[in-house]
Structure 1
């Protein structure tokens, strides 16, 4: 299996793992399920904090770089379009739809940015280990960059992912505003 597909499958695994908590949450109607509803909701939200902006970042970077120059992503011919959409667009659409319309418990937090930073740092370290072990970078784009440029690229990806998180949190508040509850006014006798 190609190295690029392995990385894509890891990203899809994170997305589907996060989405599975949403399914568990909707299946459990009470406390008799294996997890309590609060545990499932907490885990789903925790994974969504990383998976939603990450899938947004993957889609933006992938399609942006692909439009600019597909040789920066692939050494070999591209995937068929339906498979490509299934890897790089559909997971983002599903996660964003779930996040914006069905995740009511989300609250923006500074700790979420720390989680994104921790993930970005871990991913950058993993990419370095990948290069050490296999002698090649998973994306041809990374082979064209010097070490300092690669660090800048990782930081720019983290900054973009953080921006996507903040934008998503803002849009989430728009779609999930609490509607004012109408109050009964007493009829005044004239």
Structure 2
């Protein structure tokens, strides 16, 4: 029964994430983003989606072909990266989308027909859920139900190292993309360098602390 549940979870999650990404190509904004330096990969959302999808597909291969147990260490390594990144993405995205839309969505440059309030580029809800909810939820369920807790050494040495390296690499990458594109992919980054550095550090700290907290909750 557990193996069937794992297969269903991983199949549904992977299919949903792939569907969400593929549907982006049918939106008008896709042409704009694709023409920019870094394309979709300048967005942490897309990087997190790829990581989560790769982790989930690795899990699915293990589910379908038990003889590939040698892939389990790879899955554990991927999870220590993809889970906290996905949690950060979902936490920041849904908080801002509800309370401060202008800080997370790009303005399409046109006011609405009934007011001077600018319109924001919104995704259809089903796509929004596939991109900004499914990765975090599916990885969290996978970890809590089908994975064992991470060890003390992994928590004290592995997780901080991964969080620090990824934070530095993404900060460098998004700053480089902005230098070519003339703007940041997320409006909340349109601030002074000092504030952006604080945001990067805060996101990295959130990723690490959330991972520690989730592992602590694991039975």
Q: TM-score normalised by the shorter chain: which range applies?
A: 0.7 to 0.9
Whole-Å separation in 1 of the counterparts to 2:204 and 2:33: 22
Whole-Å separation in 2 of the counterparts to 1:160 and 1:10: 17
Residue in structure 1 matching 2:53, options 2, 8, 16? 16
Residue in structure 2 matching 1:123, options 170, 193, 196? 170
Q: Which residue in 2 is equivalent to 1:61?
A: 92
Whole-Å separation in 2 of the counterparts to 1:20 and 1:159: 27
Q: Which residue in 2 is equivalent to 1:111?
A: 158
Deviation per CA, 1:52-89, whole angstroms, max 9, x where unpaired? Answer: 11111100000111112111111233111111111111
Q: Which residue in 2 is equivalent to 1:37?
A: 69
TM-score by structure 2 length? 0.71
Whole-Å separation in 2 of the counterparts to 1:49 and 1:60: 17
Instruction: Report whether the alignment pairs 1:133 with 2:177.
Output: no
* Off by >3 Å, runs of 4+ in structure 1: 2-5
- Superposition map of 1:79-158 within 5 A: 79-104=123-148, 106-108=150-152, 109=154, 110-143=157-190, 145-158=191-204
What are structure 1's unaligned runs of at least 5 residues?
31-35, 175-190
Task: Please provide the CA RMSD for this pair.
Answer: 1.7
Residues 159 and 208 of structure 2 are in contact (CA less than 8 Å); yes or no, is this contact kept in structure 1?
Answer: no
What secondary structure sits across from 1:164 in the alignment?
A: helix
Q: How far off its partner does 1:29 sit?
A: 2.2
Whole-Å separation in 2 of the counterparts to 1:20 and 1:113: 25
Whole-Å separation in 2 of the counterparts to 1:139 and 1:53: 19
Higher helix share: 2
Q: Which residue in 2 is equivalent to 1:50?
A: 81
TM-score by structure 1 length? 0.82
Residue in structure 2 matching 1:161, options 207, 210, 216? 207
Residues 131 and 137 of structure 1 are in contact (CA less than 8 Å); yes or no, is this contact kept in structure 2?
Answer: yes
> Which of these two proteins has the greater Rg computed from alpha carbons?
1
